[in-house]
A and B are shown apart, each in its own frame.
Chain A
Amino acid sequence: MSGTLCIDGITVPFSDGQTIIEAARSAGVYIPYLCHRPGYAPYGSCKLCTVKVNGRTNTACTLPAADGQTVISNSPDLQYDRQRITQMLFVEGNHFCPSCEKSGNCQLQAVAYHQNMLDNHYPHFYAQRELDASHPDILIDHDRCIFCNLCVRASKEKDGKEVFGIAGRGINKRLIVNSPSGKLKDSDISVNDEAAHVCPTGAILVKRSAYLAPIGERIYDQHPISEVACEKAAIKAGEARGYGSCDPTRLPSPSQQNGGPDSHYAATMPPAPDIKHGR
């Protein structure tokens, strides 16, 4: 099925199997998200992409696009709630943007900028969460986990492993690792796994890559997330070129890689100008 839907007054075409968020993205209309990722099974937990569809509240990342839908995304109410929900994510964990290795390449931070978030608003929970630096190439800073489930899905659906899971209930949720000791070093994760690179925050980091791209030259230092997210869709059309994306967290699949962990670093750099302007 295909057809068109209307988002904030813009007519957007969709093709079979697309959700509202994907139809929007392909057409260059940005709806903020954190737990979503193109090519991944919809999840719908962060609730940033909450929109009104024909008057009813829904998550744009899970709702299939249908002909004639009227979608409201940028109403003041929805934008306000989005900002508050982002602030909730900031106070739930411990986020120190200025000192975080991921700063500038972090989707959470970029989404917060997009929403003009100037403070955390809510009282902090000061969560006590441990760091897992046991693995030689990858580290988990649990302070920054937002339970988006992307690493869980990446490991299961893309890497064919089940390295990550989310346990606990309510505010006591935690990211767990599938190994006898519970430590990352004893799991079967590899630095080439998509799960090691999919994290939209600085919770899962590849070691020794933090400052290869200097702060100030990173992706969201240069481009707002609204632009990056939609560009990616546009570039996807010409993906035959093999590079395809300007999202820093998107990496070549292991099959595309040939050079071990270092080959990732290129992908954390802003896209080369010829690719950016060549569209």
Chain B
Amino acid sequence: MNTFIESVLAQADYKPERLLQMLRAVQAQYLHVPKAAIEQLASALHIPRIQIIAVAEFYSFLHLTPQGRYDIHISDSITDRMLGKEKLLNYLAEKLKVKVGQVRADGLVSLNNTSCTGMCDQGPAGLVNGYALTRLDYSRIDVIAELVEQQAPLTDWPTEFFAVDEPIRKPGLLLNQPFNNGAALSATFARGLAETLAEVDCSNLRGRGGAGFKTALKWRTCSVQAATPRYVICNADEGEPGTFKDRMLLDLYADQVFEGMTLCAAIIGSDQGLLYLRAEYLFLYEQLQRVLKRRRDSGLLGRNILGRDGFDFDIEIRMGAGAYICGEASAQIESLEGKPGIPRVKPPNSVICGYQRKPTVVDNVETFFAATHIAIQGGQWFAEVGTAQSTGSKLLSISGDCARPGIYEYPFGTTIEDILQDCGAEDVMGVQVGGPSGTFISNRELQRRVAFEDLSTAGSFIVFNNSRNIFDIVQNFTDFFAHESCGFCTPCRVGTSLLKNQLQKIVEGNGAAVDLEELSELCLIVKNNSHCGLGDSAANPILSTLASHPDLYLSQLKQSSFTPGFDLDATLAVARRMAQRDDDAAHLSQVEN
């Protein structure tokens, strides 16, 4: 093991910030992070072993106990469930003779659920040893079970099992633009850096990750900081269930994304960029490395970019390891530093004190992609599209109950109704705009618009028809937040679990009127007191459906003012067993009213 760990350390250049990469390599080799590896890494990297244990326990795809040689995860997004994921998972468990959440006794296979893997348009989806599986069905599962039993290497599995399609159903302003590598950089240098920043400013581009902070302001603030070096981070931790537009951009438009990062680097004065790629998109890793290499070879990355003296910039790809919270910028920075992804205290903001405590711009994949085209076409071109406060276009990842799931590009301000028509959605009950952390709108609100002024979204758009049960949706989302809470602060750590349990009590028909009051009160406590956006949004699915469908919640309630918390008679079972009697007098009737 020593030699292997030594090679892992060497490959990571003995840099503790690359801890996640090292642990991923160790996990791939030993199917977990063994104690001996922890000791060796800790001493070589001069970090405490507790940091390594904390990281291994924080991320879903790292483990301290061995997983199966075939480590299978099935995506548990609501869209996967709508496509029959539950039955498929049970079928797979039966076929492989392993329980969900367990490793088979012979160590060959482990099976687990996982949060949305970003394949909602081609689910039910999963991962095997980190690689994405799409369009699972019974016949594929039969083959998979067989391949596992035969111990066939993944390279021998049918390639169509791993095929990821990128269905662009409706390209718009940006996706239709022609592009030559280097065009945005040439335009930037020709125009001048300050002038290009002014164009970004005039475009009124706002961050596409959901929060909508003005991009030019972020870049300008970073560029005027005295501290160096400065960093550019591309946030490709697309974890919001129902989102997959960054997957498509990195798959088909990677050059334009990297070029956006490079022009940002020129403007803010940075020589190092990082792409934080979510673990679920491992299948993109090799091809993105090839794109980077090609760009280095053609002088678009590296030293003196495009012959411009002193402009050096390169991009490193770092993989996540399964944690939704790492989509939050400061949590992502912590993760990039080799730590658990816990959002930082603000102020200071990352722009002032980010990666390695230096000024850092963290932007979404789509933001850099848009910036590239703004640098070429100018800000006015972009600002003419969309609405006053939301200029330009927005990529939507559409999934759920519609005939044509996939990627759509719309000018901001487009109504939900128009979008539903385009994607072929009929008999709509509601739409989840912006994923679980966004807003559920009912079919009475379809005139609303996609825009920061109304329904802001990072790009998730899930359609539900009238055959769906609203509680299935809300429970799936609420469980998701409880699972993904980093646990840093009390209201989110405890509150999301309480929300999950309280919602379950009501859905299962065990709630009284007071439980509904309790539920809404709890929602507000979690929302108002949490440390970061996760806690702030965790109650949104309940709050927005409580608002749109209060009748449904009321119909779940027991018509009594009191519900016992436990079964009185069952608690006497031990006493009965010890007293060896089971007559009528040894039983109590439950109090109900």
Contacts and interface: CB of A to CB of B under 8 A. Distances in A.
Whether chain B is bound by chain A comes out as: yes
Interface of A: 42-48, 50, 57, 59, 62-64, 81, 84-85, 88-89, 91-92, 122-123, 125, 146-147, 162, 164-173, 176-178, 180
Contacts of A122: 494, 498
B494 A89 contact: yes
Interface residues of B, number: 38
A7 B236 CA distance: 42
A173 B497 contact: no
Nearest to A173: B487
Given A45-B531, A180-B39, A147 B493 contact: yes
Contacts of A48: 490
B327 to A, nearest CB: 15
A162 B48 contact: yes
B57 A85 contact: no
Q: Which of A123, A146, A167, A180 has the largest number of chain B CB atoms within 10 A? A: A167
A206 to B, nearest CB: 22
A165 B494 contact: no
Interface string B56-87: 11100000000000000000000000000000
A45 B50 CA distance: 20
Nearest to A82: B529
Nearest to B486: A169
B310 interface: no
Interface of B: 39, 48-51, 53-54, 56-58, 323, 340, 345, 347, 482-491, 493-498, 501, 521, 525, 528-531, 565
A92 B494 contact: yes
Contact of B482 (A42, A63, A84, A171): A171
Contacts of B53: 165, 167, 176
A10 to B, nearest CB: 23
Contacts of A169: 57-58, 323, 340, 484-487
Given A170-B482, A171-B497, A85 B490 contact: yes
A124 to B, nearest CB: 10
A62 B345 contact: yes
A42 B496 CA distance: 24
Contacts of A57: 528-529
Nearest to A162: B48
A171 B345 contact: no
B497 A170 contact: yes
B490 A89 contact: yes
Contacts of B323: 169
Contacts of A178: 48-50
B219 to A, nearest CB: 25
B400 to A, nearest CB: 27
Given A85-B525, A122-B498, A125-B497, A165 B48 contact: yes
Contact of B57 (A45, A88, A92, A167): A167
B487 A42 contact: no
Contacts of A85: 490-491, 525, 529
A169 B489 CA distance: 11
A64 B565 CA distance: 45
A170 B483 contact: yes
Nearest to B481: A170
A125 B498 CA distance: 9
